[in-house]
Amino acid sequence: MSVPEKVLTNQDLERMVNTSDEWIRSRTGVSERHISEPHQSASYFAIRAAQEALDRAGVPAESLDIICVATVTADHLFPGTASLVQEAIGAKNAGAFDLGAACAGFIYGCEIVGSMIQNGTVERALLIPVDVLTKFVNWEDRSTCILFGDGGGAIYMEAGDGERGLIAGVMRSDGSGAKHITIDMGGSRYPFCSPESKGRINKIYMAGPEVYRFAVAAMGESCRAVLKKAGMSVDDVDLFVPHQANLRIITAASDRLGLPREKVYIHIEKYGNMAAGSIPIALYEAEREGRLKKGDVLMTVGFGAGLVWGANLIRW
């Protein structure tokens, strides 16, 4: 995993906008978040996480067949960030592509890269969900600037003996909610400096209450669907690692699913919402803390801009 060194606390935010530590903690669960420096783009964290993942797996970069960077905050519109990572780590035999599934980047990435491995298209892969959303935060909008942080992780994936790894996954989308969470300008609809972009903004807009309602429902729906697909129940789940957007969303959804609090991994207080980066960093820390052990059944769920969402079950 890789996150910026710089930490922005709720007390720092109190000096920037009309808010309070008490409001932020009680409404979101966030106490502090890591904020990238101007020179630290998505590839900066992706490269560091990739190198650590390869070191830990004991796999040389040249043996990789594919690199997938799941991000909505790529270094550039093009080239893809995955190509920048491929060059930086010396993965000279790998293909590279970016995947845009917002905060469901880990879920979609596991499904897509996992399928490529299962059908024999590739043998060795690196999935890197990473985001630097604070670059696009409107620091005058107190309802959004308190929520986000930066960072990402890398997951090395290869074919196994079938005993461990991906069990099942579901991917969902509802484009009718696209307007609820956007960065409007800077793409091909409203290109920068074009006449069409006049009056448009290149910062995060979010309809908080609408996204909140969607998130709680989406978490429940996709978790139930993936459990059904695998023929499992919540009792089979050893650890639940949800996308970390808001503590109240996590507790409401886990309560409705009937998951006891000790089975739910939460790190939002230290990091805020890191979009695609949240789940891989949670997995890294859960394993380090001894909460995720070999053979455990892990359920992850992600949801975000699109709207997109999904869940997967993994035997660790």
**Could you say whether residue 19 binds ligand COA (CB under 6 A)?**
yes
Q: Compute how many residues bind ligand COA; rule: CB under 6 A.
A: 21
Is residue 123 within 8 A of residue 158, CB to CB? The reply is yes
Query: Is the Cβ of residue 31 or residue 143 nearer to ligand COA in the bound state?
Result: 143
Q: Which of 245, 279, 286, 308 binds ligand COA (CB under 6 A)?
A: 245
Instruction: Report 248-307 residues binding ligand COA (CB under 6 A).
Output: 249, 273, 303-304
Hey, what are 257's tokens?
Answer: 């699913």
- Give the separation between CA 138 and CA 38, rounded to whole angstroms: 15
Is residue 36 within 8 A of residue 4, CB to CB? The reply is yes
**Could you say whether residue 205 binds ligand COA (CB under 6 A)?**
no
**Could you say whether residue 146 binds ligand COA (CB under 6 A)?**
yes
Q: Which of 90, 95, 191, 208 binds ligand COA (CB under 6 A)?
A: 208
Is residue 86 within 8 A of residue 96, CB to CB? The reply is yes
Is residue 32 within 8 A of residue 9, CB to CB? The reply is yes
Please tell me whether residue 58 adopts helix, strand or coil conformation: coil
Q: Which of 3, 8, 10, 28 binds ligand COA (CB under 6 A)?
A: 28
> What values do phi and psi take at 37, rounded to 5?
-80, 165
Catalytic residues: 103, 243, 273
Question: Using CB under 6 A, which of the segments 92-100, 229-237, 243-251, 254-262 binds ligand COA?
Answer: 243-251
Helices (H), the chain: 10-14, 21-28, 42-57, 81-89, 105-118, 142-145, 208-230, 247-257, 268-271, 278-288
**Could you say whether residue 31 binds ligand COA (CB under 6 A)?**
no
Question: Using CB under 6 A, which of the segments 1-9, 39-47, 203-211, 253-261 binds ligand COA?
Answer: 203-211
Instruction: Report 38-97 residues binding ligand COA (CB under 6 A).
Output: none
User: At its nearest, how many Å lie between ligand COA and the CB of residue 18?
Assistant: 7
Query: Is the Cβ of residue 140 or residue 236 nearer to ligand COA in the bound state?
Result: 140
Hey, what are 266's tokens?
Answer: 């939460």
Residue with nearest beta carbon to ligand COA:
208
- Give the separation between CA 295 and CA 165, rounded to whole angstroms: 9
Cα-based angle 157, 160, 166 (whole degrees, multiple of 5) = 65
H or E, element range at 69? strand 66-70
Query: Is the Cβ of residue 169 or residue 272 nearer to ligand COA in the bound state?
Result: 272
User: At its nearest, how many Å lie between ligand COA and the CB of residue 123?
Assistant: 33
User: Where are the strands (E) in 147-255, listed by range?
Assistant: 150-152, 155-158, 165-173, 181-183, 204-206, 239-242
Residues that bind ligand COA (CB under 6 A): 19, 23-24, 27-28, 103, 142-143, 146, 206, 208-209, 211-212, 215, 245-246, 249, 273, 303-304
